[in-house]
Amino acid sequence: MRRFELAVLAAMTLTAALPAVPAQAHAGPRPLGLDHCTATACHFDVPPGTYDVTVLLGGDSASSTSVGGETRRALLPETAAAPGARTVRGFTVNVRTPEGEPTGPDGSAGLDLTIGGTAPALAGIRVVPARHPRQILLVGDSTVCDQPAEPYTGWGQQLPQYLRTGVSVANYADSGESTVTYLENPQLWATVQPLIRPGDLVLVQLAHNDKTTDEATYRANLEALVAGVREKGGRPVLVTPIVRRWFNADGTLDNDIALLVNGLGVNHPAVIREVAAAEDVPLIDLTARTKALVESLGVEGSKALYLYNEKRDNTHTSVYGATVYAGLVRDELRAQHLVSQGRVRVG
């Protein structure tokens, strides 16, 4: 175990052992620790902002613990600890209102965490305001957003678990949005753009709902989003859309429905690739990555990625599918050096 983790473990063990003290007895703010938790959940009454969370996992018997938070976000993947062992893990979380989709309900105030896994054991926890965190903002549709209810899950909802302390995901994707509506709605782009800080990554995946958008308008809207990110000193990243699970008889994906060609003949992934090249913007070709994966799994094997079994839905992903697709995004962020390798959780 690294020296830093040993120091954190010792401090957290001490914090976990301290008895609860009345708030008025403290000279400063009350520590945010285990006294804010039950066996399965924690609530921290903090204002909107970005927070570093460090957890101490493990118990007397073998354990396996995951951490989620806010609107069904995956913040820490399931982590095993041997009997009697303790494991330190950390992540950075974005707290905002609304806490899920930007046009949805506010949700509960503060930071809410859920303690899950096959054998959960939370031995200690510490929450502090993050100092100079890197921020990844997500602009997208229902395949990306923090979906409020099972079984629907966006890949942006699963992305935080793949990032270590120091990088937060602020998911401003929203169900039903196109490039047209995202730019027009004051709850969306007009809210997101002022939040962009120099150096922030802004991942843009909008295509599924641009069914009646002509090519010139679609291209201009992508260019406007790129320019708006750069105006604030951010780093735009264009993301081609995940495929729809729609097969031809020969086992390949349909060229139009699956690969996002709209009724006007606009090939959305192709336009995104062209804008990325023309504007010298990093491209995550999620269409190509998801196409290769879905076709390799075939008609039956790919059902688990989507909500076919639950809803006969070949567009929206299951928790499993969203997790897999978030892993593809993680791989591209790492491979293109958009996020440093030390900030990416691989195993």
pLDDT tens for 164-223 read 999 999 999 999 999 999 999 999 999 999 999 999 999 999 999 999 999 999 999 999
**Extents of the domains making up the chain:** 1-18+32-129, 132-347
Residue 189 is predicted with a pLDDT of 98
Residue 29 is predicted with a pLDDT of 52
Nearest to 70, CA basis, from 122, 114, 120? 114
241-254: average pLDDT: 97
d(CA 5, CA 26): 27
pTM: predicted TM-score of the whole model, two decimal places? 0.92
pLDDT at 288 over 80: yes
In contact, 221 and 328? CB cutoff 8 Å:
no
Give the distance from CA 171 to its chain's centroid.
6
pLDDT at 25 over 70: no
Residue 30 is predicted with a pLDDT of 53
Residue 24 is predicted with a pLDDT of 30
First to last CA, the chain: 16
| Domain 1-18+32-129 class, CATH top level | mainly beta
For 81-136, how does the pLDDT look when each residue is reduced to its tens digit (9 = 90+)? 999 999 999 999 999 999 999 999 999 999 999 999 999 999 999 999 999 999 99
Residue 205 is predicted with a pLDDT of 98
Q: Give 256's contacts (C-beta < 8 A, 6+ positions apart).
A: none
In contact, 326 and 281? CB cutoff 8 Å:
no
261-288: average pLDDT: 98
Strands 201-205 and 134-140: parallel
Q: Where are the beta strands (DSSP E) in 227-339?
A: 235-239, 283-284, 306-307, 313-317
Nearest to 34, CA basis, from 59, 52, 13, 50? 13
Give the distance from CA 167 to its chain's centroid.
11
Residue 32 is predicted with a pLDDT of 81
308-327: average pLDDT: 98
CB burial of residue 255 (10 Å; 0-12, 13-18, 19+) = exposed
Fold that domain 132-347 belongs to in CATH: Rossmann fold (3.40.50)
Q: Taking all residues of the chain, what is their mean pLDDT, rounded to a whole number? A: 92
pLDDT at 21 over 90: no
d(CA 313, CA 245): 9
Residue 142 is predicted with a pLDDT of 98
